Amino acid sequence: MDLGLAGARAIVTGASRGIGLACAQALAAEGARVALVARTADDLTTAAATIDGETLELTADTTDDAAVRAMVAAVTDAWGGVDVLVNAAARPAGGASIPSLVDLTDEAVQVEFDTKVMGYLRCARAVAPSMIDQGSGRIVNISGLNARKTGSIAGTIRNVAVAALTANLADELGPHGVNVTCVHPGITDTERIPAMLADQAAKRGVSEDEVRAGLEATTSLRRIITAAEVADVVTFLASPRAVAVTGDSLGAGGGQPGVVHY
């Protein structure tokens, strides 16, 4: 299936590694021009070297509205507009110990909210004029399956908020031809997994294989989804083919056993 992304002008935040990088690679493979955005120039250069296609490397911290606006302006100046925004710049979930309520600080929640929810809002706000003017666009927000379970107060709050942001943006921008969707990955096989497995194995006194098997058992497919597989879902949603989907949040974590979500 031709996704109709040849020549599309895409911005991917958090594009130096993990799911963000996989999304940039997948979009480029479909013929899109991709602006890779992250906080560190060296990481962007390394990431861009893995992509076959036209790219821009732009450093920006999405907690800084002025930096976000300057980044979008640079893309617009170079390519004349923005067709796709993939919001993936967020603090990685998992790995660190989850604090209990009495140990959870205001700052721990605020930094998660400012980085992910407000960061996504800043980027969407900055690209909206270009998309509205041209009467088309796609915004895909990478959230997480913590939105659908308890266990991490900060993690659940930030991901539910991204889903709520998505629905609101979809309603406002839909009449202008702009679709907004949310993707919820679960545990995803990225460059972070080996260190996470080793850390958990050491803490629990078990083998890394046992830790991995436990993670796999939390999915309906009984395996960990890769970043590239998440990116395939994102790329479809970023394409003209996905016009019928907007405002919704889609799980992309291999399924959650025992959960009914409707």
- Is the pLDDT at 181 greater than 60? The verdict is yes
Q: How far apart are CA 27 and CA 19, in angstroms?
A: 12
DSSP class per residue in 188-204: EESTTHHHHHHHHHHHH
pLDDT tens digits, 104-135: 999 989 999 999 999 999 999 999 999 999 99
Q: What is the pTM of this model?
A: 0.95
Under 8 Å between Cβ of 162 and 118: no
Domains of the chain: 9-187+224-251 (3.40.50.720)
CB 30 within 8 A of CB 5: yes
Give the tens place of pLDDT for each residue, 138-153.
999 999 998 998 888 9
Q: CB-based burial of residue 72 (10 Å sphere; 0-12 exposed, 13-18 middle, 19+ buried)?
A: buried
